[in-house]
Structure 1
């Protein structure tokens, strides 16, 4: 999984703690986490395409959450950044192994491929079962000052 997933998840949480109605620029979010703005912007644009965020241009523009965090799963964010394809992709290398058969569908018969498919399904189910609201609630219970300190820092970052 790319670092873009981590960046996207944290950016969504940060946007949830921004002042109501406030759009936050990619540059400001990048400064908040000391990340490269151009690369973070690519991740944010992927979230816009997935309808997780909205984007507004102009002097008061930036990014906002497109929907409530209760409606955004971790899997939604992962799929927006990484795409819908499976993490493990069987290449059927057994075809060329001793005793291999070029006509066999190793995606269906390979024990390694089957094990990885089961693990992928469990991973996806777990990510789909957790919302960003669940994560936000846990953060706020463990670190109650996070919303206030996030708003304060966003307000005091210089607008690029």
Structure 2
């Protein structure tokens, strides 16, 4: 199975946004710069994540993106499905019922064994992705990555995050509340 490059970019962006403070945002252009991808290409994927409720898009000159919910509540499956769609990777076209050796439809009462095997693998793959939380990926990275890489990523987030103005009667959400 081959996932599109957008999945990698989406996961990395979500992981970076997990480091944004409070109600702050990061502009899409900064996220594109961080990972060396085209801003217009990345915007398409950021919009998919926003439509899926993984990210929140804040409009305006000081706007940008932030996680729409805590990273503990975002799984890799959430991100993959937001970018790739909910359809299974394998879609049986029943080609066994085409061509010169096809038989009457009554010969095909049992489901296609190939389709059944592929759907079983898809369920296992999705179950494995559903077990991995974005928060765990970030925590593993922070604890296991080269400290220079962690420091560079944190510095990038600190440089590009945009604090959001909060109404005087409103308390900004903490990371655990988003």
| TM-score by shorter chain over 0.5 | yes
Q: 2: distance between equivalents of 1:14 and 1:143? A: 14
Note the C-alpha offset of 1:101.
Answer: 3.3
What stretches of structure 1 move > 4 A for 4+ residues in a row? 104-108
Q: 2: distance between equivalents of 1:59 and 1:29? A: 16
Q: 2: distance between equivalents of 1:18 and 1:51? A: 17
Note the C-alpha offset of 1:105.
Answer: 9.2
1:1-160 to 2 correspondences below 5 Å? 1-97=3-99, 99-101=101-103, 103=105, 109-143=111-145, 145=147, 146-156=149-159
Note the C-alpha offset of 1:102.
Answer: 5.2
Work out which structure has the larger RCO, using CA pairs closer than 8 Å and 6 or more positions apart in sequence. Answer: 2
Q: Secondary structure at the match of 2:83?
A: helix
Q: Secondary structure at the match of 2:18?
A: helix
Q: Is the 8 A contact 2:19 2:157 kept in 1?
A: no
Q: Secondary structure at the match of 2:115?
A: helix
CA, structure 1 residues 22+102, in 2 after alignment: closer, same or farther (shift >3 Å)?
Answer: farther
Q: How many residues align?
A: 158
Q: 2: distance between equivalents of 1:51 and 1:14? A: 17
Deviations 1:48-92 (A, max 9, x none): 100100001112100000001110111100110011100000011
Q: Secondary structure at the match of 1:22?
A: coil
Structure of higher CA gyration radius: 2
Q: Which runs of 5+ in 1 are unaligned?
A: none
Note the C-alpha offset of 1:113.
Answer: 1.0
CA, structure 1 residues 113+128, in 2 after alignment: closer, same or farther (shift >3 Å)?
Answer: same
Q: Secondary structure at the match of 1:63?
A: strand
CA-based RMSD: 2.3
* TM-score w.r.t. length of structure 1: 0.88
Note the C-alpha offset of 1:140.
Answer: 1.3
Q: Which runs of 5+ in 2 are unaligned?
A: 163-178
Q: Secondary structure at the match of 2:21?
A: coil
